[in-house]
Amino acid sequence: MPLGPEQQNEIASRRSETQPTRRATVAALEEILYEPFPVLDHGFVRVVDYMGDDAAVVQAARVSYGRGTKRLSQDQGLINYLMRHRHTTPFEMCEIKLHVKLPIFVARQWIRHRTASVNEYSARYSILDHEFYLPAPEHLAVQSAANRQGRGTVLDPGSAARVLELLRTDAERAYRGYVELLNEDVSGAPVDPERPGLARELARINLTLNFYTQWYWKTDLHNLMHFLSLRADSHAQYEIRAYAEVLLEVMKRWVPMTYAAFREYRMEAATISATGLAVIRRMLAGEEVTQETSRLSPREWRELMALIGR
């Protein structure tokens, strides 16, 4: 179950409340506030708070007093300019706070994005749920021969079934050992009064990396876009990309102008080296350029040719 009864009741209570405010709000984001969006088999993402909107970005750039000082087309043009020329400070004026449930190995990738405030569920104080991630068979693949960090061809059904059996068996055995080490039920009472339980901070080390953890993660819009530019990329690991794709939809609701500029100038754009740009100019001038005459490495040459469709 992605959410426990206590969490579900809390979400229902929060979603039923309304508060008068003079702060800028975004109707499309208010619609999904506190609502969990499922990710993977037991995970979720939900927005629990936010500050600012597209107008806040524009306001910060113009250092103006209020909203609506320019037409929307001018606001979009300014945001496009900021994105195009990598003026980041105005985007830092907007912040968002998320509640995320994710496998531990995904959390260890996510935490590499250090410009954020994070508070994680503590297995030193509480007992972790009996929930672990198992990939769908179509996401089980061999190690890529070309990319040390990626996957290659998908496993055949027999091999995939064996992998899933091993993952499930190992996780179940690890959790049984975890419970035995703790020697306590959900209320904290000992299961076997004759045997002392191991400290929770030690018992947790028996668990595998596919068990789920939870955290609150707060970041500004600039750093959210940096996260998404890396983790929503097709080369990112599937499991963290699944979370990034949900966050893209959240961003689209929250700051649609910034989202459009982000897609145009970051997500679906490309950065070309000075040497690569010189190669393109030589080609446009009619010169026949090869990898040997380009001054690019073989890998850079392949990437450039793929980028320009040759």
Catalogue the active-site residues: 231
Residue 307's alpha-carbon distances to 93, 125, 183, 277, in angstroms, are 34, 50, 58, 12
